[in-house]
Structure 1
C-alpha cells in the first residue's frame, strides 16, 4: 500500500528514496490531484486549438499547441518520475507539490495569450513556478543522500533544471527572430537532463507505478477530449447552423468509436512488464517515456478535432469538409502509430498483429477523403481493435496448446 493511502502524512520524513520493488505501489491521492490540475491546462489548450483550426490559422495554432503542450507534458513527466522515486508524503513534500499545482494553473491561464499572439510570458512564469518547486525537491533528495551515489544524480537533476529554467526566462527577452531557435535549443537541454542525470545512477523509480501513472494520464487526456467534444457538439446544436442532424449523428457515433478504440488499444497489454524490461537500457526507457508526448498530444487533439467536424457538419463554420476531417484523422493516426510502436510491438508475435494498427492508421488518413469521414474512421478503429483482440486470442490459444 502506498504511504499516502496507508497512513497520515508526518511533518517530516527523510527523503531517501522509495523501494523500487515494493508490493502494491499505486498512485497516491496527491498524485491524482496533481493530474487533475492538468485538466484545466489541457482544456484551455483544446479550446484554443479548435478556434485556431476553425479560423484556418493552422501555422499559429500548430506553434501554440506544440509550445504549450510541451510545457504541460514535460512538467507532468518530471514530477511523475520524481514522485515514483522520492514520494515521502510529508508536509514539505506536499507543500512543494501544491506549489507545482499552482504553477500549472498559472500556465493554463496563459494559454489563450499563447495562441492568440504567441505571447508565452504567463505560461513561462507558471512553468518557472513548477520547476522551482521541483528543484527544491531534488536538492532535498541530494541532501538526504549525501553519503550515497544518488546524491550526484539528484544534484545533476537540480543543476540541469536550473539551467533550463534560466534559459526559458531568458527566452522572454530574445528578439523575435531568435525565439524559435532558442526554443529548440531549450527543448534539447530539457530532454538531455534526465539522460545526463540517470546515466550516473538510476533513481529508485517503480515500474508498476510509472506504467500506472502514464495510463492514468492517458485516461485523463482522453476524458478531456470527450468532454471538449461533448460541450462543442452541444454548442453547435444550440447555434444557428442548418439542421443537418444526420451528418452530426455520424460525427458523434464515429467520435465515440474512435475514443473507445483509442482506450482499448492503449490498455490491451500489461505496460509495467514492458517498462521493467526497458529499464535495463536507459535509451530504450527514455524512448518510451519521451515518446508518450506524441500519444498524449494525439489524444488531446482528437477532442478539438471532433468539435471542428461537428460544427462543419452543421454548417456553423466555413471550413472545408476535408480540413475538418483531417482535424480528427491526423491526431488519431498519430496516436495509433505511437501506441503501436511504444506499447504494443514487443508483445506482437504474428504478422497480423504487427500490421493491423499501422494499416489502421493509413486507412484513418485515407478516410479523410471519404463521405462521412469521422464515422468511417470510427469503424476502421473498431475493426482494428477487433482484429487485434481476435489475433491475440488465437496466439494465446496456440501457446496454451503447445504448453499442454
Structure 2
C-alpha cells in the first residue's frame, strides 16, 4: 500500500494506465442512494411550483458534489493512499449529514445543510492539493474560489428565506457550475474507461431510486391487482430507461471520448458528463416522483405538478440524450426528440386520465422506442456490430 510519501502515478492521458472503479468509490456512492431518495421525498412533500424548483436545486448541488469527487478519484486511487482514503470516508460522513437535512434544507436545517455541504466540498479541495500532481494542483487552485465560494453562499442563504434565500441559491449554483467553464479545465486528466464507468454506476443508482419509489408508493397500500399492475408498469418503464442509455448510447460516447487527447478530452468530459448528465440523471429523479405518485393515487388523475414532473421528466431524459449525442457527434436522434416532445405533450392528458393510464401511455411510448431502435435502428446496429466484432 502506498504511503503519504509515495509519489502518485497519474497518467496524462487515460490510454497510458486505466484504473478500475474501486470498492471505496462504490462505497462512497452509497450515500448518494440515500441522498437521491431524500430529494424524491422532498418533492413528494412539496408539490408546488416552488417545491419543484427547490427539488431541482437540491439535486443540482448533490450532483455537483458527486461530480467533483468522481473527477478526483479518477485522478488518484484514494483507496491506496491512506490519508486520501480517510478524507474520502470523512467526506462521506459529511455527505450523510447533507442528505439527512435535505427534507428541511430551505427551513430549520438550512444552515446545517450549508455547513455540511461546505465540509464536503472543502475536503475535496484539500485532498486534491495533497495528493494530486503539480499541474492538477495548479488547476484546483484556479477554480477553488468558485468551488468554495458557491457552497459558502448556501450557508449565508440559510439565514434568510423567501426571495433572498432563492436568489442566493441561484447565485451559489451559478458560481459553482460556472467556474470550470469560465476558468477552464486545463491541468485535469480523464481516464476514459474509469470515468465512463463511474457515470454508468451513478445512472444505475438513479434508476434504482425509481425502483425504490415503487416500493415507497406501495408501502401502505393493499396489494390489489391494480397496484401490482402499476408496479409492473413502473419497473417496465425503468427497464426501458435503462435500455435506452446502456444499449448503445454509452458505447458511442466512450468511443468518442477515447478519440480525444489532452485538454480536448477533458473539455469533452466536462461538457458531456459533468454538465449534460445533470439533465439525464436529474430527469430520472422526477420520473421516480411520478411513479411514486402514480402508485399512491393509481385510480385518480395526477395533479399538475406530479404530471409535469412525470411527463416532463420522461421528455427531459430523451432531450438529455440528444444533448449528449449532439455534444459528442454533432447529430441528434429525430425519433428520440419526437418521443420526448410527445412525452411532454402528455402533461395535460395526465391531469385528466387516471394515473395508471398515464403510466401505461408513457411506458408504451418508451418501450416502443427501445424496441424500434433495437430492431430497426441502423445507427445502433452499426455501433453494436463494431463493438462486438464479427462472429461475436
Normalised TM-score (structure 1) = 0.82
Equivalent residue number for residue 37 of structure 1: 31
By how many angstroms is 1:347 displaced?
6.3
Are 1:14 and 2:4 counterparts?
Answer: no
Point out the more displaced range, 280-289 or 185-194. Answer: 280-289
Match of 1:152 among 127, 138, 147: 138
Are 1:265 and 2:244 counterparts?
Answer: yes
Point out the more displaced range, 172-181 or 122-131. Answer: 172-181
Equivalent residue number for residue 375 of structure 2: 390
Equivalent residue number for residue 207 of structure 1: 192
Equivalent residue number for residue 321 of structure 2: 339
Judge conservation of contact 2:31–2:92 (CA < 8 Å) in 1.
Answer: yes
User: How many angstroms apart in 2 are the aligned matches of 1:398 and 1:327?
Assistant: 33
Judge conservation of contact 1:16–1:141 (CA < 8 Å) in 2.
Answer: no
Q: Which has the larger radius of gyration?
A: 1
Equivalent residue number for residue 118 of structure 2: 128
Judge conservation of contact 2:61–2:173 (CA < 8 Å) in 1.
Answer: no
Seen in structure 2, the aligned counterparts of structure 1 residues 41 and 26 have a Cα distance that, compared at 3 Å, is same
By how many angstroms is 1:234 displaced?
3.2
By how many angstroms is 1:189 displaced?
1.4
Seen in structure 2, the aligned counterparts of structure 1 residues 182 and 346 have a Cα distance that, compared at 3 Å, is closer
What value does the CA root-mean-square deviation take over the aligned residues?
3.2
Point out the more displaced range, 20-29 or 328-337. Answer: 20-29
Judge conservation of contact 2:37–2:209 (CA < 8 Å) in 1.
Answer: yes
By how many angstroms is 1:11 displaced?
5.4
User: How many angstroms apart in 2 are the aligned matches of 1:96 and 1:124?
Assistant: 19
Secondary structure at 1:313 match in 2: coil
Are 1:68 and 2:58 counterparts?
Answer: yes
Point out the more displaced range, 157-166 or 101-110. Answer: 157-166
By how many angstroms is 1:325 displaced?
4.2
By how many angstroms is 1:33 displaced?
0.7
Matching of residues 184-203 of structure 1 within 5 Å: 184-196=170-182, 198-199=184-185, 201-203=186-188
User: How many angstroms apart in 2 are the aligned matches of 1:9 and 1:37?
Assistant: 26
Seen in structure 2, the aligned counterparts of structure 1 residues 395 and 71 have a Cα distance that, compared at 3 Å, is closer
By how many angstroms is 1:322 displaced?
6.2
Judge conservation of contact 2:118–2:148 (CA < 8 Å) in 1.
Answer: no
Instruction: Structure 2 unaligned segments of length 5 or more: list them.
Output: none
Render the CA deviation track for 1:204-251: whole Å, top value 9, x for unaligned: 22122111111110111101211121232232337xxxx6x43x3453
Equivalent residue number for residue 152 of structure 2: 166
Judge conservation of contact 2:373–2:380 (CA < 8 Å) in 1.
Answer: no
Secondary structure at 2:46 match in 1: helix
Judge conservation of contact 2:284–2:314 (CA < 8 Å) in 1.
Answer: yes
Following superposition, which runs of at least 4 residues in structure 1 exceed 6 angstroms of deviation?
397-400
By how many angstroms is 1:398 displaced?
12
By how many angstroms is 1:386 displaced?
1.3
Count of paired positions: 374
Point out the more displaced range, 76-85 or 383-392. Answer: 383-392
Matching of residues 180-329 of structure 1 within 5 Å: 180-196=166-182, 198-199=184-185, 201-237=186-222, 245-246=225-226, 248-269=227-248, 270=251, 271-277=253-259, 280=264, 284-288=268-272, 289-314=274-299, 320=302, 324-329=306-311
Equivalent residue number for residue 3 of structure 1: none
Equivalent residue number for residue 87 of structure 2: 96
By how many angstroms is 1:382 displaced?
0.7
User: How many angstroms apart in 2 are the aligned matches of 1:155 and 1:283?
Assistant: 18
User: How many angstroms apart in 2 are the aligned matches of 1:63 and 1:153?
Assistant: 32
Instruction: Structure 1 unaligned segments of length 5 or more: list them.
Output: 1-7
User: How many angstroms apart in 2 are the aligned matches of 1:376 and 1:218?
Assistant: 24
User: How many angstroms apart in 2 are the aligned matches of 1:164 and 1:41?
Assistant: 20
Are 1:354 and 2:333 counterparts?
Answer: yes
By how many angstroms is 1:83 displaced?
1.4
Normalised TM-score (structure 2) = 0.84
